Structure 1
Amino acid sequence: MKLMRAALALLFLSCLAQAVDPISFGLAAVGAASALTGLLSSYPRLYCYFRDCCNHARVLNSTGDSSHTQRACEAENRMALQVNLDRKLFGQHLVKKVVLKAVTGFLKNQNPKKPLTLSLHGWTGTGKNLVSRIIAENIYKGGLKSPYVHQFVSTLHFAHVVDINKYKDQLQAWIRGNVSVCERSIFIFDEMDKMHAGLIDAIKPFLDYYEQLDGISYRKAIFIFLSNAGAERITQIALDFWRSGKQREELQLKDLDPLLSVAVFNNKNSGFWHSSLIDKNLIDYFVPFLPLEYRHVKMCVAAELQARRYVADPEIISRVAEEMTYFPKAEKIYSDKGCKTVAAKLDFYL
């Protein structure tokens, strides 16, 4: 308890030292920050309570935790991930099932044969960015802001096709450098449907079954790809289910996975077009995000109200959901923007 109180006091001074110019604040705060770092680094659990640690689970193992404690931690982590998915993600029963099993199973495995590679597909606003953020937050407390989570946006980081060879070299160097610092690094590639064909193949060696490459193991890293490619195929299958009188929850991954991978592989407007990552079966899971229905949009509105600490007013929820546009024209089942504009539309009523 005394150790915790001392750490909290030093942490307070450390935060002040970061918020104020050290020269004006005085050397005492800087010394306190240094003392905090020294104190916490001597106690890995305490240190990782306050700061993001690379592969915190491995740190816990190295401190001599019993297998019983480790199993309890794994169960707690799985429950936390499931709770976050249930509270924040709507209408995506396949996504919840696949992501929960894939991520928790991978993190539990102390000797994976290759990195975990997830490819998330679906229309905008269906939850792809949300799921990647939830995964990051359940592994590192800093989430997307953690120094061990790296996000690439195709239209920003790989904008010019004439520079594709330079991008390949930079991408390999970036991944190599970050994994050498933290083997449990997370790499998120957004807008894969806008990436130049052939570029993503530059990272193929890092996703393969190599034990090491130039002395570095990539087997504990996580790669997540986000794309609109294949969304048309997903929607058509979901629509066929609806028209045949079946519930969307009856859809299984086997109904979508083979067709989705083929559709993405043959899509000339996708960064995965004829990609060796697909051809060599290096993507572990193609995760389909179904188009969202009116009832799911209402859930998104209610969740946004709750996040802003407002009462979930049924009238406001219905009004916002009704302002969204739906397709196909005849049936008007699915929101064409998912929940993408819910927050903006809600501003009008609040």
Structure 2
Amino acid sequence: MAAARGSPGTWRLLLLLLPYQAAGLLDPFSLGIAAASAAALTGYLSNPRFYCGRLVECCEEDKALNITALQADLSTRLFGQHLAHDVIFRALTGFMSYENPKKPLTLSLHGWTGTGKNFVSKIIAENVYDLGMQSKFVHLFVSTVHFPHDKLITKYKDQLQSWIRGNVSQCARSIFIFDEMDKLHTGLIDAIKPFLDYYEHIDGVSYRKAIFIFLSNAGGDMINRAVLEFWKSGKMREELQLKDLESVLSVGLFNNHNSGFWHSSLIDKNLIDFFIPFLPLELTHVKHCVMAELRQRGLGENEELALRVAEDMVYFPKDSRMFSDKGCKTVSAKLNLHL
């Protein structure tokens, strides 16, 4: 009876070899070695450690987060955002280390263009999945691309729920990024409210290990005013704490018709874990962005060139030129002019 065991691959090989044995071209001993080798090879190839990452990308729901790598990325690639650095590091490491979270991790990133919101979502994706934004488990929705027509909101709600349900069914550790939240039609984002709540399962699917990230320019003016007042009072920007901005930010978004969160149940029911302000960047931060661009292009360290490019950017207020008007958004284009 023991001979009846074996994988389908092993039996296929045996069937192929039987005619050779019958013709006397293969002795029983050699046939046994071939069968054992086939069984061993089949077992090796069927091991997830072999094909995951080599042949296909696999959903590794319980993969440990490399805390050191995440800290290094936030420290060396994100400039001028001490609040975002601290909150995102603690939020992601805490969430990923918890085997049974009570709800999905939900982050809402706010600030002017060029301050690092999209870049941070990229860093998060890269630290959860090796393929980063190219991973089939990372899903990007851009409001003006995926939800352009206000007359189709009902259809979009059904599609959005279906997309999220289908992808989380395939991989519980799915990441969903919603860009241009300030351009999203009012009420649409409430369609995902059940998936962000504290339910253990919805129709047999658990959403508790998923990550939702919202990116928005809404609230940027509010953040800039707060930082400017802080500076005028003689305080360092690094003295700003999350509590100085988070509650004001959430209330402002809830009451802002153009925020994507206007009277949203996501805010009303406290389903967004963190509202993370991205502060306006100063000249020194823009210079760091230029230096990073130079290194990425293989042009080495050139602080003099980096300073010239940074000084060529537009800053506000006009009298003090304290903050970059576009953050680091146009650094690459500006660098091309100087090169």
Q: TM-score per shorter chain, which class?
A: 0.7 to 0.9
Shift of 1:43: 2.8
Match in the other structure for 1:188: 177
Matched, 1:90 2:79: yes
CA distance in 2, matches of 1:39, 1:156: 45
Bigger proportion of residues as helix: 1
Q: Is the Cα contact below 8 Å between 2:61 and 2:172 reproduced in 1?
A: no
Local SS of the residue matching 1:233: helix
Question: 2:242 corresponds to which residue?
Answer: 253
**Cross-structure match for 1:164:** 153
Give yes or no for the alignment of 1:292 onto 2:258: no
Q: 1:156 to 1:260 in 2, by over 3 A?
A: same
Q: Cα deviation per residue 1:188-221 (whole Å; 9 max; x = unaligned)?
A: 0000000001000000000000000011000000
Share of identical aligned residues, percent? 65
Q: Could you tell me which residue of structure 2 aligns to residue 212 of structure 1?
A: 201
Letter in 2 for 1:201: D
Residue 52 of structure 1: aligned partner: 57
**Post-superposition shift, 1:348?**
1.9
The worse-fitting range, judged by mean Cα deviation, of 184-193 and 41-50 is 41-50
Distance (whole Å) between structure 1 residues aligned to residue 61 and residue 242 of structure 2: 32
Match of 2:272 among 266, 283, 297: 283
Q: Are positions 1:223 and 2:212 aligned together?
A: yes
Q: Which residue pairs with 2:105 in the alignment? A: 116
* Partner residue, 1:236: 225
Output aligned runs, 1:103-142, within 5 Å. 103-142=92-131
**1:9-50 superposed Cα distances (whole Å, 9 cap, x missing partner):** xxxxxxxxxxxxxxxxxxxxxxxxxxxx97776333343343
Contact residue 208 and residue 282 of structure 1 kept, 8 A: yes
CA contact (8 A) 1:264 1:270 kept: yes
Letter in 2 for 1:108: S
SS of the counterpart of 1:119?
strand
In 2, the alpha carbon distance for the partners of 1:308 and 1:117 equals 34
> In the alignment, does 2:276 pair up with 1:271?
no
1:154-181 alpha-carbon deviations (Å, 9 max, x no partner):
0000001011111000000000000000
The residue that corresponds to 1:79 in the other structure is 68
Paired letter, 2:312? E
Q: Which amino acid in the other structure matches residue 53 of structure 1?
A: C
Alpha-carbon separation, structure 1, partners of 2:43 and 2:320: 63
In the TM superposition, what is the alpha-carbon distance from 1:331 to its structure 2 partner? Answer: 1.8
Distance 2:303 2:252 in 1: 40
Query: 2:61·2:171 contact (CA, 8 Å) conserved in 1?
Result: no
Q: Distance in 2 between matches of 1:86 and 1:275?
A: 33
Letter in 2 for 1:47: Y
Quote the residue 2:31 is aligned against. none
Asked if the contact 2:112–2:326 (Cα under 8 Å) also holds between the matched residues in 1, the reply is yes
Aligned to 2:19: none
* 2:301 pairs with 1:312: yes
Q: 1-side partners of 2:100 and 2:61: how far apart?
A: 16
- 1:210-237 CA-to-partner distances (Å, cap 9, x unmatched) read 0000110000000000001111111111
Match of 1:150 in 2: 139
Aligned residue-pair number: 298
In structure 1, the gaps of 5 or more residues are 1-36, 59-72
Q: Which amino acid aligns with 1:327?
A: F
Q: 1:127 to 1:315 in 2, by over 3 A?
A: same
Structure 1 pair 39–324 and aligned structure 2 pair: CA distance change class (3 A): farther
3-state SS of the aligned residue for 1:167? helix
Query: Which protein has the larger Cα radius of gyration, Structure 1 or Structure 2?
Result: 2
**CA-to-aligned-CA distance 1:28-87 (integer Å, 9 cap, x gap):** xxxxxxxxx9777633334334343213535xxxxxxxxxxxxxx55xx11110101111
Conserved? CA contact 1:40–1:47, under 8 Å: no
Which segments of structure 1 move beyond 6 Å, counting only runs of 4 or more?
A: 37-40
**8 Å CA contact 1:48, 1:56 repeated in 2:** no
Deviations 1:309-348 (A, max 9, x none): 1122122111111110001122210001000000111112
Give a deviation string over 1:229-278, Cα, whole Å, max 9, x none.
11111111111110111110000111111111111111111111110000
